[in-house]
């Protein structure tokens, strides 16, 4: 089964062609210290044995300017697709959605919190965003949600209203797991399992945390697999945001899921990605 990465980033050192305009006004440290071209990403993929990638636009470097991701997809369409970001509150959000779709991007990402926006935003439930959600459902475009667990009740409001929108939860919403089995602190995350539209993205944030506390990779991820099913889970490297080489990052994820049966690993490291981004199957 081909290995597919659904969460690498790229940042060009050419700031004249691709000017910086980070969300929150301050560029993320990783994008400043480790700008990584799509050519460098390809080299890292080849070294790691990663066949294809859904490149996630770097909002903490470029805001809503998705040109570098779109240009990467245009340059190497056999191995890349793009996951772009737009301003959902803009009056032309649907038109902008279709523009980037026409540039070869087949996924969306909403950056509702993160390194340059530390608080959990609530704007994604604003009624002004409803035309976007309707359009995402009609176009069958998966929407990645960069968010914290405390934002999940709001996300449920959107999913109840728009049940046909495919949602991908970045980094498992950073749900806490240090309390160990039965993982009561992550109850909001596990409550999403009843929504068939929800997919989970597993990244180094989850695989190699600063501390596991009373948890272990096997007990935590086994519970996630049991609740959601491997066919709704996909691996993403978060490269180069995450420290380490891409072979090291993939190796750590493989180790964390070594307990899982091979058919489940096939889903997590490749098949689920093809479900979310069929363009990568071409």
pLDDT digits (tens, 9 = 90+) for 241-261: 999 999 999 999 999 999 999
- pLDDT value at residue 115: 66
- pLDDT value at residue 138: 97
Q: How many CB atoms lie within 10 A of CB 20?
A: 16
pLDDT tens digit sequence for 14-25: 999 999 999 888
Please check whether residue 115 is in contact with residue 81, taking contact to mean a CB–CB distance below 8 angstroms: no
As a three-state string, the secondary structure of 79-91 is CEEEEECCCCCCC
Question: Mean pLDDT over all residues of the chain?
Answer: 95
- pLDDT value at residue 120: 83
pLDDT tens digit sequence for 148-196: 998 999 999 999 999 999 999 999 999 999 999 999 999 999 999 999 9
Indicate whether 10 pLDDT > 90: yes
The three-class DSSP label of residue 27 is coil
CATH number of the domain enclosing 101: 3.20.20.140
Indicate whether 93 pLDDT > 80: yes
Q: How confident is the model at residue 26 (pLDDT cuts 50, 70, 90)?
A: confident
pLDDT tens digit sequence for 104-149: 999 999 988 766 767 788 989 999 999 999 999 999 999 999 999 9
- pLDDT value at residue 112: 87
Output the CA–CA distances (angstroms, integers) from residue 157 to 152, 189, 192, in the order listed. 9, 14, 12
Q: Record the pTM.
A: 0.96
Structural domain boundaries, residue 35: 4-281
Residue (of 181, 236, 258) closest to 213 by Cα position? 181
H-only helix segments in the chain: 29-33, 38-48, 59-62, 67-75, 93-102, 130-139, 152-161, 187-190, 204-207, 217-228, 246-256, 262-266, 272-276
Output the CA–CA distances (angstroms, integers) from residue 141 to 96, 107, 167, 277, in the order listed. 14, 5, 9, 8
pLDDT tens digit sequence for 209-249: 999 999 999 999 999 999 999 999 999 999 999 999 999 99
How far from the centroid of its chain's Cα atoms is residue 109's Cα?
7
pLDDT tens digit sequence for 31-79: 999 999 999 999 999 999 999 999 999 999 999 999 999 999 999 999 9
Task: For 201, list phi and psi in degrees, rounded to 5.
Answer: -110, 120
The alpha carbon torsion through 171, 173, 177, 183 (nearest 10 deg) reads -130
How many Å apart are CA 46 and CA 39, to the nearest integer?
11
- pLDDT value at residue 262: 98
What is the total count of domains within the chain?
1
- pLDDT value at residue 12: 96
Q: 56 — alpha (psi -120 to 50), left (phi > 0) or beta?
A: beta
């Amino acid at each position: 089964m081909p290995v597919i990465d659904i969460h690498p980033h790229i940042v060009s050192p050419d700031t004249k062609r691709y000017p910086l305009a980070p969300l929150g006004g301050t560029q993320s440290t990783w994008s400043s210290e480790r700008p990584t071209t799509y050519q460098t990403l390809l080299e890292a993929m080849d070294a790691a044995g990663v066949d294809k990638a859904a490149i996630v636009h770097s909002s903490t470097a470029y805001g809503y300017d998705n040109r570098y991701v779109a240009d990467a997809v245009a340059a190497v369409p056999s191995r890349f697709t793009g996951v772009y970001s737009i301003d959902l509150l803009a009056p032309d959000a649907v038109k902008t959605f279709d523009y980037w779709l026409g540039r070869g991007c087949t996924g969306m990402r909403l950056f509702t919190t993160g390194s340059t926006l530390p608080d959990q935003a609530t704007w994604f439930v604003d009624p002004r965003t409803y035309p976007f959600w309707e359009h995402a459902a009609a176009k069958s475009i998966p929407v990645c949600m960069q968010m914290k667990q405390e934002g999940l009740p709001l996300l449920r409001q959107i999913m109840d209203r728009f049940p046909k929108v495919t949602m991908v939860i970045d980094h498992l919403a950073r749900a806490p797991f240090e309390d160990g089995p039965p993982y009561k602190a992550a109850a909001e995350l596990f409550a999403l399992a009843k929504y068939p539209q929800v997919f989970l993205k597993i990244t180094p944030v989850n695989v190699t945390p600063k501390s596991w506390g009373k948890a272990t990779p096997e007990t935590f991820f086994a519970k996630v697999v049991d609740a959601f099913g491997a066919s709704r889970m996909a691996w993403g490297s978060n490269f180069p945001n995450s420290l380490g080489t891409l072979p090291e990052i993939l190796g750590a994820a493989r180790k964390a899921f070594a307990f899982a049966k091979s058919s489940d690993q096939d889903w997590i490291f490749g098949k689920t990605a093809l479900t979310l981004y069929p363009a990568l199957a071409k």
